[in-house]
Structure formats: structure tokens, C-alpha cells
Homo-oligomer: A and B are copies of this chain.
Amino acid sequence: MHLTTMSKVKVGAFSISLDGFGAGPRQDINNPLGVRGLELHNWFFETAVFKKIHGQAADMEKTGGTEGFDFHKNDNDIAAQAFENVGAWILGRNMFGPVRGSWDASPENAEWKGWWDDNPPYHTPVFVLTHHARAPLAMEGGTTFYFVTDGVHSALQKAKAASGNKDVRIGGGVSTIRQFLAAGLIDEMHLAMSPVLLGEGEHLFHGMNLHDLGFTSVRTVAGEGATHVFLKKG
């Protein structure tokens, strides 16, 4: 285990509203981030990082890559940093998809391969928390989804083993981050505070005491479309 002590468990570029919500209410297939949740990510849409991810989709020719795209530099640099040195991801099931229940409950469930296209933006092993077992799902570009049914500690153990000396990024959503926070498993968090008021939805920190959990704010960076705050334990 000594070889991996430098690797961190981190939340990167996770968008929240000014009133603290990380997703809107009533998630469904038309609202993957809940009602109005997409507004939290407006800052990200103006980055080359996002454009590049989008460019990997089938409509690459349509979007034309990032050339001539006047993207937001600060936001872009910070979004890029959030992808650096990540050896494995952990996602909650709702961040993987809107389908519920066992994976063989319906053809829709069985065929669901994530919110993304055949080449998801992870390019690493991705551990998906779920109550229902499913065989690993190898996608294009190096992403393989593994389905973990025995909780956050197990998921983290598997992710650490898979990440080598790199970091494990907890992708979300809100409920997943809260579970890892409550278990004391997160070392660093980078939050993108968007200039949006959701009013309702999934609150990232309600009822949690980040001070008692050992976090302090170590850096604030003004992006063009969001304010980036960096929290660190210890």
C-alpha cells in the first residue's frame, strides 16, 4: 500500500449552484441532471475540454473541433486539470443512467450503456455503484464500466487497485459524493460554483459539517463562467 500513498481521492470540476445544489430535482431521461440542472454546467460548455469531448462523438464534423472556438481560458485550464492524473472513476448509478431496478428488468435496462456515446469521456476503468450486479461493459477509448454492488469502500478499493499510482476521481452525483464524504474517504474537492440559483434539487452539503470532516478552502479561482473553489483535507 505504501506505493500508492501519493494517489488521491478527489472530486473535480463538480458544478454546484450558488445556493448549493449539485443537481436539479426530478431526474429523468430528458433531464439527466434534474430540472434546470444543465444550467450548472454552462461554464463547462464554453471550454475546449468540453468541445474536445463532444468532438469525439459521432457529430465531430458538425462541431468542427475547437478551432476558431473562442473558449473561456480560465475555466478551460481548470477543467483540463480536473482530468489530469486520473486513473479510475467512481460514479453513482444515476450518473450512469436513468434506468432503475435490475439490469435485466427490461430491454431498455439491458441495453443502457451510459449517458454518453460509444466512446465515453473517461478512458479509464469506471466503477458504478449499484444494487444490481452486471457484467463489465467495455466501451471504446479505454473506458470500461464495472458494476459494484457492495458499497463505497469496496468501490474505492477496486478503483485504487485499478488506478495504479494515479488518483481516483469521484465523478458524482451528489448522493455518491455525500456518501464518500461521510465515510471520510475524499481528500480534495474542486467545486465550480455557477452563477445560478436552483432553489431546489440535490444539495451537496446540507447536514454535513465540512469543517469537522477536516476540510479547509485552499484556493479560489475566478473563471469566466464559474468561480472555482478548492477544498482540501488536513
Contact = CB atoms under 8 A, between A and B. Distances in A.
Interface in A212-234: 212-213, 215-217, 219-220, 222, 227, 229, 231
A211 to B, nearest CB: 3
A200 interface: yes
A198 interface: yes
A211 B199 contact: yes
Interface in A118-146: none
B211 A195 contact: no
A205 interface: yes
A206 B209 contact: no
A53 interface: no
A200 B211 contact: yes
Number of chain copies forming the complex: 2
A193 B211 CA distance: 16
Nearest to A227: B227
Contacts of A212: 199-200
A229 to B, nearest CB: 6
A228 to B, nearest CB: 10
A12 interface: no
A87 interface: no
26 contacts: A18-B217, A18-B229, A18-B231, A19-B20, A19-B205, A19-B210, A20-B205, A193-B193, A195-B217, A195-B219, A195-B220, A196-B217, A197-B210, A197-B211, A197-B217, A197-B231, A199-B210, A199-B212, A200-B209, A200-B211, A200-B212, A206-B206, A220-B222, A220-B227, A222-B222, A222-B227
